[in-house]
């Protein structure tokens, strides 16, 4: 899914999303694994 978003969204939007994901990775790791 993330790859699809990268292709369709502007780079600035992607960078913000990646930053949020990196910050929340510890808390959201279980959700992402699912």
Summarize pLDDT for 15-30 with one digit per residue, the tens. Answer: 677 777 666 665 655 6
Range of the domain at 11: 2-33
The per-residue b/e assignment along 1-34, b for 16 or more CB within 10 angstroms, e otherwise, is eeeeeeeeeeeeeeeeeeeeeeeeeeeeeeeeee
Is the predicted pLDDT of residue 32 greater than 60, yes or no? no
6 near 14, Cβ under 8 Å? yes
What proportion of the chain, given as a percentage, has pLDDT over 70? 24
pLDDT band for position 4 (cuts 50, 70, 90):
confident
Mean pLDDT of 10-19: 69
Q: What pTM was computed for the model?
A: 0.26
Task: State how many domains the chain has.
Answer: 1
């Amino acid at each position: 899914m993330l790859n699809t978003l990268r292709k369709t969204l502007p780079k600035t939007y992607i960078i913000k999303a990646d930053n949020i994901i990196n910050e929340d990775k510890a808390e959201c790791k279980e959700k992402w694994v699912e």
